[in-house]
Structure 1
Amino acid sequence: MSEELLKGYDEHARRGQRLRQAGVLALAAFVTIMLGIYFGGVFFGARSLEVMLALQGKKEQLKSDIEQLKQENAALQKKYFELKMLFEAAK
């Protein structure tokens, strides 16, 4: 009788252990899937690393364009004031 009882208890303990292992496995799979979704969004989503790097490149290009336009503006202002002085001297 005690042998049957121990056998039943052992069987019950094994089932409990299998259920815990299945639970841990399910939790690990869930966490893995959620992390995959999160990192997929980080690397390929609207706020992704790729978008950030592209925007940084565009920012540098715009800074370069601003400097070029400032130089062109300075040259045009110089020309404007020279012409203005010639016009006033001709009066």
Structure 2
Amino acid sequence: MIDFDDIRPKRKIDLKIVLVVLLSFLFGIYIFNLLFGEKSFSRMIDLQKEYQVLDKKVKNLKKENTILQKEYFELKELEGK
């Protein structure tokens, strides 16, 4: 008599293959999130550019403030005499 269990290959899923596929999938999600997520590299670049623009605005406002303070004190001095 023929034993059919020996003819048909056993279809056990190898745990190592499943683990490698799962880890690869999770690593892919992690890399995607790193590149395009809320705390991503592109967001960091955008924030650095925004910081530079705001820093320039602050410097310009400080210069303007200095000029206005000088003008204010000059007017205050003229008023006192």
Give the TM-score range, shorter chain: 0.7 to 0.9
CA RMSD of aligned residues (A): 2.1
The runs of 5 or more residues in structure 1 that have no matched partner are 1-10
| 1: CA distance, partners of 2:55 / 2:38 | 24
Deviates more, 1:23-32 or 1:70-79: 23-32
Aligned to 2:3: none
| 1: CA distance, partners of 2:38 / 2:77 | 54
Aligned to 2:26: 34
Matches within 5 A, 1:1-91: 19=12, 22-89=14-81
Specify which structure has the higher proportion of helix: 1
The runs of 5 or more residues in structure 2 that have no matched partner are 1-5
Moved over 4 A (4+): none
Larger Rg: 1
User: With structure 2 as the length reference, what TM-score do the two structures score?
Assistant: 0.79
User: With structure 1 as the length reference, what TM-score do the two structures score?
Assistant: 0.71
Structure number with greater CO (CA < 8 Å, separation at least 6) is: 2
